[in-house]
Amino acid sequence: MKRPIAVTILGGLFIVAGTVGLAYHLRERPLEPQIVLVSAIRVLAIVGGIFLLLGHSWARWLLLVWLGFHVVLSAFHSLSEASAHAALLLLVAYFLFWPPASRYFQSSTSTAGDAGPR
């Protein structure tokens, strides 16, 4: 099954967001003690985006957890920032679980299982 355009766009956006965030934090704050954790979180976005494009259903959940984590973090900054992240989380969840995307991830799972030895 052909990948829905929403999945392609979201996968690309997570890869870009993770890459840009990783580069920014490593360049601007390389000596901060929490840089390893911050970098790992950015790498998760990149990994999630790549595996989303490859049709792995678990990547949808990884990226939703990643965004949910950002909702919680942004709640410590401001209500408007938390609201924006929450709205983004709902929008991404909608497009990752709407019927065309769900069919795409189900077909990717079933074809992966058919590739084994017989």
User: Using one digit for the tens of pLDDT, what is the confidence trace for 35-65?
Assistant: 888 899 999 999 999 999 999 999 999 999 9
> Residue 112: inside a domain, yes or no?
no
| Tally of structural domains, the chain | 1
- Supply the pLDDT for residue 97: 95
Whole-model pTM: value is 0.84
Q: Does residue 32 fall inside a structural domain? A: yes
Measure Cα distances from 32 to 25, 40, 69, 82, 92 in Å. Answer: 9, 14, 20, 24, 31
Instruction: Please write the tens of the pLDDT for every residue from 12-34.
Output: 999 999 999 999 988 888 778 88
pLDDT of 58 = 96
What per-residue confidence (pLDDT) applies to 108?
Answer: 73
The rounded distance, in Å, linking the Cα atoms of 28 and 30 is 6
Distance CA 80, CA 72 (A): 12
Has residue 118 been placed in a domain? no
Q: Is residue 79 part of a domain?
A: yes
Q: Tell me the CB-side half-sphere exposure of residue 62, using CA atoms within 13 A.
A: 19
Residue 116 lies in a domain: no
Domain boundaries, position 76: 5-107
Whether residue 24 is contained in a domain is answered as: yes
87, two tokens: 């709205």
Q: What is the full DSSP assignment across 58-82?
A: HHHHHHHHHHHHHHHHHHTT-HHHH
Q: Is residue 44 part of a domain?
A: yes
Q: Does residue 37 lie within any of the structural domains? A: yes
